[in-house]
Structure 1
């Protein structure tokens, strides 16, 4: 089935990796992306102090050459490089590809013969790969319509506009919050404190300067969630460094996730997902050291709990009711992780849901797919020639947001019709 025309919707990391592999398999590709391919939210909006949270050795675009990115960057495989640099790498990789047509428009949905564009044009294609990245961020229930509430910290200029002498509240304590803290404190002039609030009040943990060899604990599909937790904790204690066990679990996470019952998956999401994310998606060592210093200096604090209300007093800013009481902040920045579908679906994914070409996947974390990565429609049937790669596989799979897994999904597209 090689030699078909494939439309790839989305030009971030997922789209670039998919395009590269499809071309290697002999297909013709039309990449649909309104911005420059290779940026995306993660890499296109990064500032110099934003580092990758994986080592350079894990970030190659070439599944057959693990050292490709490290050689390109002129660094060791153990280093944590700037995210903006990785965006340049992806653009460089994309620039070496031949046989791809770039269509700088916004895709609005499927058409009779391919993909419909915002201009009214149609991109004719035999197959479509959806590579649109993460769902939209969750928003706090008390979200106000107010200029001092920032729903999207990646919008150009919004963080630079926050005065350095007002306290700032971050809603969420994950890697996005870490990025925002680094930006707000980058010039050293911030006098007022930054507070992050999340349900558990847990920050991501940090990598060690040098990697430890991964160790896979003895797990199989017969284990219950309770068994899995007990075994992982025991093996981490024996290993001496829990990072080795967490990294050793990674290749088997999707198999483990799929072996859990729906009830066990819900229990994991309620009680264990956040601790797992803190251990799995870690800060670079230098970033961790910076955050520790800011906390010790009293310039950054983390609180557990939620937001009960937000009101706008006449002088400006926002009065936020936290569990400890009401406090005034000059700005509130939403740093929450991806929201649940269908509400958080982007425009293209939303159009697929509305038209019945896709359905919401398990737990509302993404779209539903069959074992090969085809989207499942509202009628419960897999859609031939309609593929999904990247973060929107979350729910049907668990480990699907990082470059190594997306790279493997892209590579599998070569064999999709065999």
Structure 2
């Protein structure tokens, strides 16, 4: 019997975990397509020493059967928040353990053919199956985005933040974890000029406790609507005294809840509750939260609610930004927004799938559409056999799909045949 060949497109966290599980759980030949070093990825490859994981070491194992694998590798306790760059090295180590069993093609994938994956160098990886593991969509950009050197569309581009003078005020568009990372980088050296983060709600991520409380399960059997669930979560958080335990206890059921919502309820959640939920769910490490609190007390970091009405470039340099409180000059504006909506935010490979009808935009434009087994659904509504999706681009069809515990479970599922 001829061995199947599976091509994994993307060599970040999702791609490494997918490759590992395919090699462990099947006899498939696996080809990983990634132009850079497997295991780095955007989240870990560009991290500075002060950028910490926003989950404890005990949650970050690559092995679903060995929850303590990363903590032992790092020589840490399960409760520690380790550097993100260290986690990138861990993923590279995980990949090194399987590298003799996988073929790596250091190239950009540009599309799918009937027989495999087309590469930018004009060649093709012939494959019976494909796993799309390309990570998040591109970041959303403000409507007033200018074409100007003092507007930084991608803070993770090499040297982008290094070019910002230390004596000019900086505006961060967004107030999530990316904005926190950028603020930490800009204040790592002597910077007295203020940093302002602006977002629609003006809410920063909340902070983990030093030691995690055991998750608290919720009785949701009598909840039939989004409103019922919100009411139950708030009531249980008030009883528990620590909302974190309730949020963590709800996490295993989020996909089931999300898919049970009506489209209108999903839209209402996105409009009114998604940002507060993200602030509670994706929290800062305690030391990061303490650093941010100090920066705010010192007046070096400010957070404002509202939007950006316009941006213009005066002859002297920098950008004039019209905020709700008025017009203000900034020496640099850094986009720290979260993932954008598809199709506009699709990368080149995912964009090619949409253009060819080999995939379609999923619910609310948050990702690609999939069936319950994670197989792509084409523009004609048909499931694409042997073309599966893993990672953040499942969002919309599912909800909880961006963190390592969920991605490693998705990776394990790739080894399970589907009819």
TM class, shorter-length: over 0.9
> Which digits, 9 at most, give the CA deviation of each residue in 1:271-290, with x for residues without a partner?
00000000000000000000
2:371 aligned partner: 370
Post-superposition offset of 1:221: 8.1
1:170 aligned partner: 172
Stretches of structure 1 lacking an aligned partner (at least 5 in a row): none
- Alignment of 1:236 with 2:237, yes or no, is yes
2:348 aligned partner: 347
1:6 aligned partner: 6
Task: Report the TM-score when normalising by structure 1.
Answer: 0.99
1:34 aligned partner: 35
- Alignment of 1:112 with 2:114, yes or no, is yes
> Which digits, 9 at most, give the CA deviation of each residue in 1:4-41, with x for residues without a partner?
21000000000000000000122211000000000110
After TM superposition, which residue ranges in structure 1, 4 or more long, deviate above 4 angstroms? Answer: none
Aligned to 1:147, which of 140, 146, 149?
149
- Alignment of 1:135 with 2:162, yes or no, is no
Structure 1 pair 27/221, CA: closer, same or farther in 2 (3 Å)? farther
Structure 1 pair 375/2, CA: closer, same or farther in 2 (3 Å)? farther
3-state SS in 2 of match to 1:96: helix
Post-superposition offset of 1:222: 4.9
* Contact 2:8-2:132 at 8 Å conserved across structures: yes
Aligned to 1:99, which of 87, 101, 111?
101
For 2:236 and 2:126, locate their aligned partners in 1 and report how far apart those are by CA, in whole Å.
52
Q: How does 1:5-404 map to 2 (within 5 A)?
A: 5-25=5-25, 26-97=27-98, 98-187=100-189, 189-220=190-221, 222-404=223-405
3-state SS in 2 of match to 1:31: strand
Stretches of structure 2 lacking an aligned partner (at least 5 in a row): none
> Which digits, 9 at most, give the CA deviation of each residue in 1:163-213, with x for residues without a partner?
0100000000000000000000012x1010000000000000000000000
Post-superposition offset of 1:223: 1.7
What's the Cα RMSD here?
Answer: 1.1
3-state SS in 2 of match to 1:415: coil
* Contact 1:221-1:256 at 8 Å conserved across structures: no
Post-superposition offset of 1:416: 2.7
For 2:238 and 2:41, locate their aligned partners in 1 and report how far apart those are by CA, in whole Å.
38
